[in-house]
Chain A
Amino acid sequence: MSDRGRAAAPRWAAVGVLVAVLVSLPAVVGALPVEDADVFAPDLRAAVLASDSVGYSGYAESAGGLALPVTDQLTSVADLFSDRTTMRVWWRGPADHRVDVVTTAGETGVHRDAGGSWTWEYERATATRTEAAPLELPAAPDLLPPSLGRRLLSEAADAELTRIGARRVAGRDALGLRLEPAAPAASVRRVDVWVDGDSGLPVQVEVVAKGSDRPALDTRFLDLELAVPPAEVTAFRPPPGATARNGRQAEVLREAGDRVRPVALPPELAGLPRRVLDGAPRGIGLYGSGVTLLAVAPVPEGLARALDDTLAQSPDAVVDDAGARIAAGPVGLMLVEPPGRGPYVLTGTVTLDALVTAAGQLPELAGTG
């Protein structure tokens, strides 16, 4: 072997060691022990529900595998649940926060204040003002781990909750809380909420559907700082040169409600009791509680036809005498068109069997199927 050949071995070995150290670093950091705390599940849930006034700022990512079969009008809502969404958030309180959905080339920021919210879209150079309403379409802020965690745990019974150890999320030790809905109609197998022990703030939420081991929705913080952010970060004023306009979301919801034909819906469907939701159009029936919810709406023919076309193109849809139905993760959707009568849409976090049962109990169908 030449002198140069002999010199090569130690030099390459040094490079090899350098590479090995660098490659193993993430695994070593990930394997650091996580400290669990002796907290009971109901107490942890109470801490989560009390966390909406905790100030924080951070960077969160949600990944959804829910390919919702929707018509063109709701693509932005569908994208939220089927795509990877990255968000920056500054939270001073429920009526004072800012959430930016960050994309490679732009961002859409929602600035919430006491009277409503400003939505800034950079690539359109447009600021939209929306007044606060009791019922709003799902938006990116609803996907943040704290918002989603509080919503999903808000109606959970103590018997449905268990503790599942701890893990590290965004560099913090997070305590695990598992919700397994008791209702037989539930399509959600479990919801795992990982909670910062000191503040009660959910830092990661995973929703797993029945029949699956992988989360249908996973939202988590990648960075989190527990301090009240300054007010000037959440405030917003439309910049010069931008288009400022008023949002039409409330009108859209009202118009949708007006198009629903008045039908007297039963007090219970598929074993789920009827409930009232502030701001929901009166013709729409809402059933269930917690993470097991069902909505029933007698819809106009045009909407039903558009939905029927969408379902017909979906290879996962089931079409038989009971109606056309499809499941996207834990979200089920069914279109029923009784002959000679107006169509119904049934949707929610219930199993497809529960949708069929509920459809059979609708006023115009009960006793006919």
Chain B
Amino acid sequence: MITVELRKMFRRPRTWATIAVLNALPVLVAVLLVVTDLAPRPGEGPPFLSAVLRNGSLYPLAALAIVLPLFLPIAVAVISGDAVAGEAQAGTLRYLLARPVGRTRLLVAKLVAVLAFVVVTVVVVAAVGYLVGTTLFDAQPIGGTSVSGTSLTSEQITGRTVLAIGYVAVSMLGVAAFGLFFSTMTDSPLAATMGALAVLVTSSLLFTLDAASPIAPYLPTRYWLAFVDLFRDPIQWRDLTRGLALQGVYVGVLLAAAWANFTTKDVTS
């Protein structure tokens, strides 16, 4: 079942088109940086973008920071919103459920497919970022400087970059869970995607308001940029662990709700 869903996901041209579009923005930003040599001013622009001009091997992180606020969650919302509702809209959900597989198993298979998309997308963005960064900018093979001003070896930078890629992937699970939950609620993939995006926009907006600071620690987007903390010295684990726990709670609750809804609803299409 899981293999079937994975094959279906990665055989679709749409999946790869989405990943390609996601990579276009960081590549464009890198080209503009090289052509103009204008780094963002301190306090402005995505994290690591100004550091890239000194060390191109940091570009995977800058690329992730560029797509993280908007492009990446949109892509995840589109794919996860389509997971169940897409089948319903195409009229294939009924036939899927006619096979002797439980609805819970189908839901798990859909979830695994979405997770695979998230991981592949984040890894591809980082890999393309590395290629672009080391090609267009000066790369320092001996290592680099941490955010705290200490020296990091190239092994440390590589290890922390791998952790950052993993953290960004986990950060997207909340969006995926919202998309999947809404996808079980409606027969329209567009409505499910828009629902997940509405949650995202609401969370991002509330995060900027001082008045919303009491609920800020519970907003799904609150700890997204905490991957920067991996490059402080010593590593600041506080927000990273909170970010992982928060995504775990959202995924757990929303999957439970998706399961309660999907396993008990009447499927007619």
Interface set of A (CB-CB < 8 Å, partner B): 2, 4-5, 7-8, 11-12, 14-15, 18-19, 22, 59, 84, 88, 100, 102-107, 109, 120-125, 127, 222-223, 233, 236, 238-242
Contacts and interface: CB of A to CB of B under 8 A. Distances in A.
Minimum-distance CB pairs A-B, first 6: A123-B42, A8-B264, A11-B260, A105-B47, A120-B149, A239-B145
Contacts of B65: 105
Interface in B121-174: 145, 147-151
B232 A14 contact: no
Interface string B57-86: 000000001000000000000000000000
Given A22-B249, A104-B47, A2 B266 contact: yes
B228 interface: yes
Interface in B234-263: 234, 236, 238, 249, 252-253, 256-257, 259-261, 263
B100 interface: no
Contact of B151 (A7, A11, A223, A239): A239
Contacts of A88: 232, 236
B18 interface: no
A109 B149 contact: yes
Given A4-B265, A106-B47, A239-B149, 12 more contacts: A8-B260, A8-B264, A8-B265, A22-B253, A84-B213, A106-B147, A121-B42, A122-B51, A123-B50, A127-B149, A233-B234, A240-B145
10 contacts: A8-B265, A14-B260, A18-B253, A59-B236, A104-B47, A120-B148, A123-B42, A125-B145, A241-B54, A242-B145
Contacts of B253: 15, 18-19, 22
Nearest to B217: A26
B264 A123 contact: no
A238 B228 contact: no
Counting chain A CB atoms within 10 Å of each CB, the highest count among B50, B51, B148, B263 belongs to B148
Contact of B149 (A2, A222, A223, A238): A238
A78 B221 CA distance: 29
Nearest to B260: A11
Contacts, number: 91
Interface residues of B, number: 36
A79 to B, nearest CB: 11
A295 to B, nearest CB: 30
A59 B238 CA distance: 9
A5 B265 CA distance: 7
A184 to B, nearest CB: 34
A151 B202 CA distance: 41
B54 A125 contact: yes
A5 B54 CA distance: 62
Given A11-B259, A15-B253, A238-B149, A123 B266 contact: no
B260 A12 contact: yes
A4 B268 CA distance: 13
A104 B228 CA distance: 7
Contacts of B192: none
Contact of B43 (A11, A105, A240): A105
A316 to B, nearest CB: 19
Counting chain A CB atoms within 10 Å of each CB, the highest count among B150, B210, B263 belongs to B150
A349 to B, nearest CB: 24
Given A122-B149, A125-B54, A106 B257 contact: no
A42 B230 CA distance: 44
Contacts of A14: 256, 260
Contacts of A122: 51, 147-149
A2 B266 CA distance: 9
A310 B74 CA distance: 44
Contact of B236 (A84, A102, A240, A241): A102
Contacts of A106: 42-43, 47, 147
B195 interface: no
B107 to A, nearest CB: 13
Contacts of A4: 264-266
A7 B149 contact: no
A123 B43 CA distance: 7
Contacts of A12: 257, 260-261
Nearest to B142: A240
